Amino acid sequence: MAQFDTKISKFLSYVLRHQPESIGLTLDSEGWADIGVLIKCAEKHGKHLNHALIATIVETNDKKRFAISDDQKRIRAVQGHSSQKVNISYQAQVPPAVLYHGTATRFLDSIFQQGLVAGSRHYVHLSADEATAIKVGQRHGKPDILKINAQLMHEQGFKFHQADNGVWLTKSVPVKYISFN
């Protein structure tokens, strides 16, 4: 992705996941925003968007963070929201037996004291494969990969969801389900 596209992608992540009101945008409870309104709000804040550019960002984003509605009129971030106004109604799914969480080494003490918590986001994000978890962990420093016993969690009543981009979501992961990979 070109540097310009990366900046636009980060802008879209910010307004569609965390602070839509920062540009005067309103999201519905499922996280959808009208693309025309997004373009107008972004323009007022010095960001020049159009339908074609937005479609390109959605199609080429390596993390598949965004989705465009079937009618091509709305856009949303598929997961990672911190806005309390958004509450995507994901369907509960049976997870794979094992999921992974990439984190930075400096967070391990806290994780092994309190487990994985969503923090300011709605869900803890988990990966189906180690390679993706390593990439996630590298964003925050020297990575460590944690193995999550998702099968046992599921059997004991924890709910799992999968976002459109393949990221697995759950509200929390208690310490007893976490081990080093």
Q: Output b/e per residue, 20-55; b: 16+ Cβ within 10 A.
A: beebebebeeebbbbbeebbebbeeeebebeeeebe
The number of CA neighbours under 13 Å toward the Cβ of 10 is: 7
pLDDT of residue 3: 55
Other beta carbons less than 10 A from residue 134's beta carbon: 16
Q: Specify the CATH number of the domain 98-179.
A: 3.20.170.30
Q: Specify the CATH number of the domain 3-77.
A: 1.10.10.970
- Amino acid identity of 107? F
Q: Where are the domains of the chain?
A: 3-77, 98-179
pLDDT digit string, tens, across residues 86-125: 888 889 999 999 999 999 999 999 999 999 999 888 899 9
Q: What residues contact residue 160 under an 8 Å CB cut-off, 6+ apart?
A: 92, 93, 94, 95, 150, 153, 154, 168, 169, 170
How high does pLDDT run on average in the chain? 93
Task: Determine the Cα–Cα distance for residues 99 and 52; give it in Å rounded to an integer.
Answer: 36
Q: Which helix (H) or strand (E) holds 74?
A: strand 74-77
pLDDT digit string, tens, across residues 35-75: 999 999 999 999 999 999 999 999 998 888 999 999 999 99
